[in-house]
Structure 1
Amino acid sequence: MEYLKKWIRNNGATAILVVLFIVLLINTDARAWLMRQIASTGILNSSISEPKEKEGGPSSARYADLIVRNEEGAVLSTSALKGKVVFINFWASWCPPCRAEFPSIQEFYNRYSNHPQMVFLTVNLDENPVLGKNYIKEKGFTIPFLTSAGNIPREYFNGSLPTTVVLDKKGEIRLHHSGLADYSKDSFYFQIDALLKQKP
């Protein structure tokens, strides 16, 4: 017993770090919390870019069509959303970075969901959609629960979770970000406001 006390005195910090590491390894929400703290710094965020045509030539992504289905079974496609700014987020309930950024997406949704020219397509990619529905319900999120209703264009999603895409009113991809980000920053809202003010 004396040996154990001595070891803890000499190696207390190491023991605490090992315990924290084990908790992070086992608990998805703990990993999501840590990632959320990192994302809140903004260092992982991406910015809205200029349209591709300004860089030379039209964008092949402009006419890529994503088709999704809501919980009631209604189908919606991005091609029908011209004239609106579209925020697309691909996520899964088992994905710690997705869980980490979801509170910021909920905050963004709360702020803009009533704007007539803003659309949110939060596309769940769980193999079993019930897991995604349960996660949203458990956390009290009100973000739309959508699933893919066809092939997802590679211009939008290449397999990394989470992936976020923002389309302008012409259907042009203005942001494509793979990985964790914080979408509750004023700097991001400023960019979204600029897109909303543009003419289709």
Structure 2
Amino acid sequence: MLNNKDVSKEKPPANKWHYIKKNAFTILMVIAVGILLVSPDAKSFVLRQLMATGLFNASIDKRDVDISNKVNTDFDFSDIKGNLQNTSSLRGKVVFINFWASWCPPCRAEFPSIETLYTKFKDRPDIFFLTINEDSELATGKAYLDKEKFSIPMYQSKGNVPEKVYSGALPTTIVLDKTGKIRFHHTGFANYASDKFVKQIEELINE
């Protein structure tokens, strides 16, 4: 009569390689999901591939944007040297505002398109790029820009930002016309380097 020890000896060893081969897709998916959960770079890479489809191209002709004169869009901000300014001083310019943080994967995904847009218009005196960093430490945001070799200036908001402009979700992008009215407001990542959006910015500048 066999005891438990003898029975366990007679069982064939589990074929680990067969199991791995049979479940390779599942294992790879688990690894991929794990990487996405812990790596902002991996998440932003995936989002950037989605942006490449053209489904996330920004457009200023949104119908749900409140462009009422009654909406307050003014708030204080400072550059990395601490120089304080208010958006009201930017009247007469189109203002592209983007709230972002280095830890935010959707922000990372869209930032190259913002850099491209900035590069196209940086020498134009009638547009201002106000990229508001929301990292807890200014140096963290600056380090990210330096690492990615982005040339767009970085700012921080000072005091309260009107909720109609920014309610706390990242990324948030707003375009103000020369009178300070909201002409575009979008929460979530988008491609701001598409030909259509570039043309729309040009049209706003020429208004």
CA shift at 1:179, angstroms? 0.5
Identity of aligned residues (%): 42
Alpha-carbon distance change, 24 to 46 in structure 1, aligned in 2, over 3 angstroms: same
Q: Which moved more, 1:8-17 or 1:107-116?
A: 8-17
1:29 aligned residue: 41
TM-score (norm 1): 0.90
Q: Alpha-carbon deviation of 1:2?
A: 6.5
Amino acid paired to 1:17: M
SS in 2 for 1:24: helix
Specify the code of the residue in structure 1 equivalent to 2:174. Answer: V
For residues 73-126 of structure 1, give each alpha carbon's deviation from its aligned partner in whole angstroms, at most 9, with x where no partner exists: 212221111111100000111111111111111111111111111100000011
Cα distance in 2 between the residues matched to 1:150 and 1:133: 21
Contact 2:58 2:194 in 1 (8 A): no
2:23 paired residue among 11, 19, 44: 11
TM-score normalised to structure 2 length: 0.87
Is the 2:174–2:185 contact (alpha carbons within 8 Å) kept by the matching residues of 1? yes
Q: Relative to structure 1, is the Cα distance of residues 51 and 66 closer, same or farther in structure 2, using a 3 angstrom cutoff?
A: farther
1:1-200 equivalences in 2 (<5 Å)? 3-49=15-61, 58-61=68-71, 63-198=72-207
Identify unmatched segments of 5+ residues in structure 2. Answer: 1-12
The 2-side partners of 1:17 and 1:146 are apart by: 39
Shift of 1:41: 2.3
**Partners of 2:62 and 2:20 in 1: CA distance:** 56
Query: Runs ≥4 in structure 1, deviation > 6 angstroms?
Result: none
Distance change in 2, residues 1:168/1:51 (3 Å): farther
Residue range with higher mean Cα deviation, 43-52 or 33-42:
43-52
RMSD between aligned residues: 2.0
Structure 1 unaligned segments of length 5 or more: list them. Answer: none
Aligned length: 194
CA distance in structure 2 between the partners assigned to 1:131 and 1:58 by the alignment: 36
Alpha-carbon distance in structure 2 between the residues aligned to 1:132 and 1:31: 18
